[in-house]
Homo-oligomer: A and B are copies of this chain.
């Protein structure tokens, strides 16, 4: 195993654990599959933002914030589609890792907690994407992949910040931070379970 994988200097402080070297090796050895999976992640992230707009259609300012997020996720989705196409690849169905569905089990059913948990989990997924895309941007063998990931990762960190701000606008700072810490631990535990397929969130 290579042990000299670079780590980003800027680390999302709210994640409860760092990505393992095992994941880095698996991801770097399967660049196309990881990229196709990331295209699906962008598409799903757009779906999540729109789903939240649907669920809370009259929540002040929510649509103004989430609609541009959804558009940006779709732009990135399209960017990856054309990048793959240039390489002779296309989108294909990939079995998702348990990450998303396991995280979703931790969304409390009653409001307003459902809203808080939904914002924070959406944010944590963005934060983890930011960490992993940063690793891929630093360590991918191929320069065009490094440049692509570099171009995608800034928005992941920004979206995390937006979801955290949405939570803090609606809930107290204490309640938000306490729940974020709980969910971040759960997120790390889910990732610590062995999952052998190369996925952005395996």
Which residues of A line the B interface, CB within 8 A?
40, 43, 46-47, 50, 53-54, 57-58, 60, 63-64, 67-68, 70-71, 74-75, 77-78, 81-82, 90-93
Contact = CB atoms under 8 A, between A and B. Distances in A.
12 contacts: A46-B50, A47-B50, A47-B54, A58-B90, A58-B93, A60-B90, A63-B77, A63-B78, A63-B91, A64-B81, A67-B81, A71-B75
Contact of A43 (B40, B54, B82, B91): B54
B77 A67 contact: yes
Contacts of A60: 90
A67 B78 contact: yes
A70 B71 CA distance: 8
Stoichiometry (number of copies) = 2
B64 A46 contact: no
A64 B43 contact: no
